[in-house]
Chain A
Amino acid sequence: MNQPSAECMIEARGVQKWYPNGFHALRGVDLTVHRGEVVVVMGPSGSGKSTFIRTFNALEDFQQGSITVDGRALSNDLRDIDAIRREVGMVFQQFNLFPHLSVLENLTLAPIQVRKRPKAEVEEQAYALLERVGIREQADKYPGQLSGGQQQRVAIARSLCMEPRILLFDEPTSSLDPEMVREVLEVMRNLAADGMTMVVVTHEVGFAREVAHRVVLMAEGQVVEEADPATFFTNPSHERSRQFLAQIL
């Protein structure tokens, strides 16, 4: 397994969030993610996992505490937010591919428009990435013509095409048929082996055991337990973790 370095990529301290309707979704969450580290976030539905990782690229705001991503503090300054988003990729449960663009255009849109890179160079890189996720031959198709597993692999390649320093995954395999889960996890496993910093919300125990450096359990808007996978799955220290594991194992 690839060893993380000591450099901090994400540092969240005492993050609190209230939704506009007053719901207290995050109640003082701390988390540190090092460069090259794979952190898996687990927890029951509604515990605030999505809310939490979406604060890392400012898709959700927060009211108290601080988050530093790749050395930049998240503030309300829009220019800082755009700079952070360029460095943080996100893969969604529903893929969110752009249905009106071909697979290739999905990959090249942001590098061309945001990074202002020449089209030919970006396309070459896009083909290489599609090759890496195993669907180069689908480059000219549209997302609606692909299977769920293929779409999610395109989504991962799309994020990679921006050359992010951190990748966030929000239940990337939860809306896939079982036989497609494997092909997506395989891609993620390879990314981890290449040293990508990843925060992954998932219920895939096998993936967590094998790939994660750390597993974090969230419940009711708080981090309940944080441990290496071996300890987490066999000998958790909190009652809440044991209840959760009893449900999913």
Chain B
Amino acid sequence: MTLSLPQRLKRELAATPLDGAVSAVLIVAITAAAIGFLGWAFGRAQWLVIQANGTLLAVGRYPVEQQWRLWLLVGLLAAATGLGWGLLRGRRWPFNDRLASVLLVALGLWAPAALGLSLPLQVRWWAITALLLGLRWAFGRWGAAGLARLHPRVRRLLPLGFPLLYLIGLWLIAGGLGLGSVAPSEWGGLLLTLLMASLAMLLSFPLGVLLALGRRSELPLLRWGSVLYIEFIRGAPLITLLFLGQNILGFLLPGGLAPDRVWRAAAVLTLFCAAYLAEAVRSGLAAVPRGQVEAARSLGLSVPQTLGAVVLPQALRTALPTMVGQFISLLQDTTLLSLIGLLDLLGMARSVMANPAYLGKNAEVYLTLAVLFWCCCAALGLGSRALERRLDTTRPA
């Protein structure tokens, strides 16, 4: 039975008098909030603070004459994204892809103009957007054929491109390819936030898996060591660990040898996240039925083979949503870095707001921060859901 629009509205909003009253109150409240917010955002709000400090918020005090490195990196990332996207989807352009492309184009045109960038910089944005979508199109069309022509051995090595790209990125940021280096203390803003979060995610993942395996190990020393570590870390607030990390390494190592404060903070974030990931992986491991191990062992697979080919793939698949949730909180937790004096996105924002010229512009700055964080977390969430769907082997063929 299909209902007409008024009928549907009535059923969904006002099935009973109480439902109707609740709906009415909510509609009024939401409308009022939206009008108030939009009125502020497009009327009273003064976005000059963001325009004037866009570079600071994006990359901190990264030396201007070295910023080409970051542009190059963004270009590389856009290329890799377009390439992977194209290979994944092929010639098809499903609705989500068309929507994403339109949003990307809109963003590529609007964001640089809204930020008040100079024309050459605006053109760079356009070029990067075009590169991304162009590669999406080209690799969707011809990528699969090109891939098929590669030697299988080469093809198997291709996924290694991602960690490689990451290392190249780090190297570029730190001043590779060219004269002079850029010390970590000069990294800041969104750049530092993303760098710290991604580094901690990448490194904490293997560590977390090892800890989870250690916790289930039959060797008592390994087991108790893992338990102790996991419970200690999970029992302590991150901020205390961050302060501890800044101080303890200074005590342990003579001044010059202690790694830079940025690296120390990255290490603490990694160690922190690993403990939580270990718990997620452990519950994933516990969810793998005993029969799986028995079947693998009775086929003659050794313990490591059973782990690698049968147990871990299933455990990680189960743990994926929890792990991504953990990554999302990690990304948000990087704001604590501002409390130990690093100029991450929040730290940079606070130093901007401390500037007397921008007194009273906190709302604009914080809203920008919230939107940026929201975009990053949404991207993580979308990525994880796409991965889950790909790994779901129970859906009907």
Q: Is the CB of B394 within 8 A of A110?
A: no
* Cβ-defined contact, B394 with A90, below 8 A: no
B117 interface contact, C-beta 8 A? no
Neighbour of B391 across the interface among A98, A100, A110, A113, CB < 8 A:
A100
Asked if A59 and B299 make an inter-chain contact with CB atoms under 8 angstroms apart, the answer reads no
The interface residues of chain A lying within 8 Å CB-to-CB of B297 are 59, 85
CA distance A90 to B298 in the complex (A): 6
Query: How distant is A235 from chain B, measured CB to nearest CB, in Å?
Result: 36
- Residues of chain B lying within 8 A (CB to CB) of residue A85: 297-300
Whether a CB of chain A sits under 8 angstroms from the CB of B2 is no
| Residue of B292, B296, B298 with most chain A CB atoms under a 10 A cut-off | B298
Check if A145 is an interface residue, CB within 8 A of chain B. yes
Q: Is B134 an interface position by the 8 A CB rule? A: no
The answer, yes or no, to whether A74 is at the interface (CB within 8 Å) is no
Is B314's CB under 8 angstroms from A100's CB?
Answer: yes
**In the complex, are the beta carbons of A99 and B299 less than 8 A apart?**
no
Closest to A112 in B: B309
Quick check: B299 and A145 within 8 Å, CB to CB?
Answer: no
Docked-complex contact B393 and A109, CB < 8 angstroms: no
Report yes or no: B393 in contact with A113, Cβ–Cβ below 8 A.
no
| A114 pairs with B393, CB closer than 8 A | no
Set of chain B residues within 8 Å of A158, measured between Cβ atoms: 299
**Which residues of the other chain, B, contact A114 by a CB distance below 8 angstroms?**
299-302, 305
Beta-carbon contact of A144 and B299 below 8 Å: no
Query: Would you give the shortest CB distance from A122 to chain B, in whole angstroms?
Result: 13
Q: Which residues in A have their C-beta under 8 angstroms from that of B310?
A: 98
The residue of chain A having its C-beta at the shortest distance from the C-beta of B305 within the complex is A113
Please provide the chain B residues from 222 to 236 with a CB less than 8 Å away from any CB of chain A in the complex: none
Partner of B393, one of A90, A92, A96, A144: A144
Q: Which of B295, B300, B317 contacts A100, CB < 8 Å? A: B317
User: What total count of A-B pairs have CB within 8 Å?
Assistant: 75
| Contact-size category for A | 20 to 34
Expressed in whole angstroms, the minimum distance between the Cβ of B374 and any Cβ of chain A is 33
For chain A, residues 91 to 123, give those with C-beta under 8 angstroms from any C-beta of chain B: 92, 94, 96-100, 102, 109-110, 113-115
A49 shortest CB reach to chain B, Å: 16
B397 within 8 A of A: yes
Cβ contacts under 8 Å, B289 to chain A: 94, 96
Q: Is B294 an interface residue (CB 8 A)?
A: yes
B396 on the A face (CB < 8 A): yes
A89 with B295: CB separation less than 8 A: no
* Residues A57 and B298 in contact in the complex (CB < 8 Å), given A100-B317, A113-B305: yes
Given contacts A92-B294, A96-B294, A98-B310, are A162 and B299 in contact (CB under 8 A)? yes
Q: Considering only CB atoms, which chain B residue lies closest to A109 in the complex?
A: B309
Q: Which of B298, B317, B393 contacts A88 (CB 8 A)?
A: B298
Q: Is B291 an interface residue (CB 8 A)?
A: yes
Chain B residues with CB below 8 A from A162, complex form = 299-300
Chain B 300-334, CB within 8 Å of chain A: the 1/0 string?
A: 11100100011001100100000000000000000
Query: Are B394 and A99 in touch, CB under 8 angstroms?
Result: yes
Known contacts A59-B294, A92-B291, A99-B314; is A110 also within 8 Å of B396 by CB? Answer: no
* Residue A86 is within 8 A (CB to CB) of chain B in the complex: yes
Q: Which of A88, A96, A144, A145 contacts B295 (CB 8 A)?
A: A96
**Inter-subunit contact A92/B313 (CB<8 Å):** no
Q: Which residues of the other chain, A, contact B299 by a CB distance below 8 angstroms?
A: 85, 89, 109-110, 114, 158-159, 162
Contact between A89 and B394, CB atoms less than 8 A apart:
no
Which residue of chain A is the closest to B298 with respect to CB atoms?
A: A90
Q: Complex Cα distance A114/B309, Å? A: 12
Give a binary string over B365-397; 1 marks a CB under 8 Å from any A CB, 0 the rest. Answer: 000000000000000000000000001011111
Q: A residues within 8 Å of B by Cβ?
A: 57, 59, 82, 85-86, 88-90, 92, 94, 96-100, 102, 109-110, 113-115, 141-145, 155, 158-159, 162
Which B residues fall within an 8 A CB radius of A?
A: 289, 291-292, 294-302, 305, 309-310, 313-314, 317, 391, 393-397
Question: Shortest 5 CB-CB distances between A and B: which pairs?
Answer: A144-B394, A96-B295, A142-B393, A110-B299, A86-B300
